[in-house]
Structure 1
């Protein structure tokens, strides 16, 4: 059984897998430090991921996928890590984080709205000033002095991400609009989206920790809503609106 250690969001995780592909996926995060916790994957974990995947596709009325056991194991590792991270004041969040001049901006929205497209516009607009932190599942550590966004191996279908940590300056909820505009929103306006996009553990104790962390997240960063038309001007409008 392959076993290696990875440092993700400042925590060292020992991963024991059935297949080697998991370790290829996480290779940029490898470390020799002592582990904070360990994750072991069993054939039952892979079978459960297949069952969940099939159920989701069936619910959407889509043909059932034919994911390999290796890919299902990657999801199982991600899920087991995400279940533990609330113990370390850290959330796994569904969104796209980009840093400009060392400060992070997180864009989140319903699937298909254009998070990845919008952060691509930021990379085009800012050039070398912009660095992708994570394009799908960053980790957010909630501290008394603010929120830190971390790159993770789980960086989306395009593999856009960097093994770095940046202070998170703002969270922006994306919507489609004919003209670009941005405005601050309250925690009450943002909260349902923040909760929806946070990984919610199955364990009840860790779920309660996640809810408490989501409350602190809502209070710990500035919150915005951006209506955008996916023209490069959207990057300028969004950035200047969050200064």
Structure 2
């Protein structure tokens, strides 16, 4: 058996498989680590997938999900083009923190650990352990984490780069951050997903502030109230909107996070004025 172990913000994942498991450079950064809780994922090569029963809790072209007693079951599909039928390639059966994965043998060549983690729904496990992945640029400044969150194209990467160039900040991740409480406070943690930025690091730090970005002709900054902050940040959180447990976990974690962390609204230009205005608010 081949073995891989990873840790994201104190949540551990142990992967075992009968074939070699490749890994990306980004994922390799998260090998090992000290975990508060751990999931065991065992992969087998098999095409003996069950037929989905009636009463699915999710039914899309790519996913069928159902429950069988205490077990959560999901069948994953792929298709080459819009006119072709779906083909099942992976069956995931989970009971507690034990996860069994049956993978189509024909697709096992070049299997990567990140494929497995995505197939078992990594973000869902992190939610269960009080962590939420936020669409944001994550920088470290004076030992604390500052996150810029907004829809794609608003300027997250630009603001992170300004702080790196003008204030000597370190960009940990250009697109995602895991937020999870450890050691008595919410912290930002690295994650192996970084979008098109290509910037990915494994660093953890207490949160200084969450910054919601907007574009404007003049740079201004203000603190958001609880409801306004919640409405701005929830769409940037990674969770399955069709899964009631995910929705409850994401909203609960975000509510606690907002209660403990300043959330600022920065409407700004892509220049040093944005940095100066934000500094005055911090």
TM interval, short-chain normalised: 0.7 to 0.9
Q: Say yes or no: does 1:31 pair with 2:32.
A: yes
Aligned to 2:29, the other structure's residue is in SS state helix
- Superposed, 1:44-63 pairs within 5 Å as none
Q: Distance in 1 between matches of 2:268 and 2:274?
A: 6
Aligned to 2:167, the other structure's residue is in SS state helix
Q: Distance in 2 between matches of 1:192 and 1:51?
A: 34
Q: Say yes or no: does 1:227 pair with 2:267.
A: yes
Q: Distance in 2 between matches of 1:134 and 1:19?
A: 28
1:5 is aligned to 5
1:60 is aligned to none
1:172 is aligned to 211
Among candidates 217, 234, 249, match of residue 209 of structure 1: 249
Larger radius of gyration: 2
Aligned to 2:163, the other structure's residue is in SS state helix
Among candidates 129, 136, 143, match of residue 88 of structure 1: 129
2:139 is aligned to 98
Q: CA, structure 1 residues 178+72, in 2 after alignment: closer, same or farther (shift >3 Å)?
A: farther
Higher strand share: 2
Q: Say yes or no: does 1:107 pair with 2:109.
A: no
CA RMSD, Structure 1 to Structure 2 (Å): 3.3
| Structure with more contact order per residue of length (Cα contacts < 8 Å, sep ≥ 6) | 1
Q: Distance in 2 between matches of 1:151 and 1:170?
A: 16
1:241 is aligned to 281
**How far did residue 213 of structure 1 move?**
0.8
Q: CA, structure 1 residues 9+144, in 2 after alignment: closer, same or farther (shift >3 Å)?
A: closer
Q: CA, structure 1 residues 192+32, in 2 after alignment: closer, same or farther (shift >3 Å)?
A: closer
Q: CA, structure 1 residues 178+144, in 2 after alignment: closer, same or farther (shift >3 Å)?
A: same
Higher helix share: 1
**How far did residue 204 of structure 1 move?**
2.6
Q: CA, structure 1 residues 240+70, in 2 after alignment: closer, same or farther (shift >3 Å)?
A: farther
**How far did residue 51 of structure 1 move?**
5.9
**How far did residue 90 of structure 1 move?**
0.9
2:224 is aligned to 185
Pairs aligned (count): 225
Unaligned ranges ≥5, structure 1: 56-68
Aligned to 2:199, the other structure's residue is in SS state coil
Q: CA, structure 1 residues 2+72, in 2 after alignment: closer, same or farther (shift >3 Å)?
A: closer
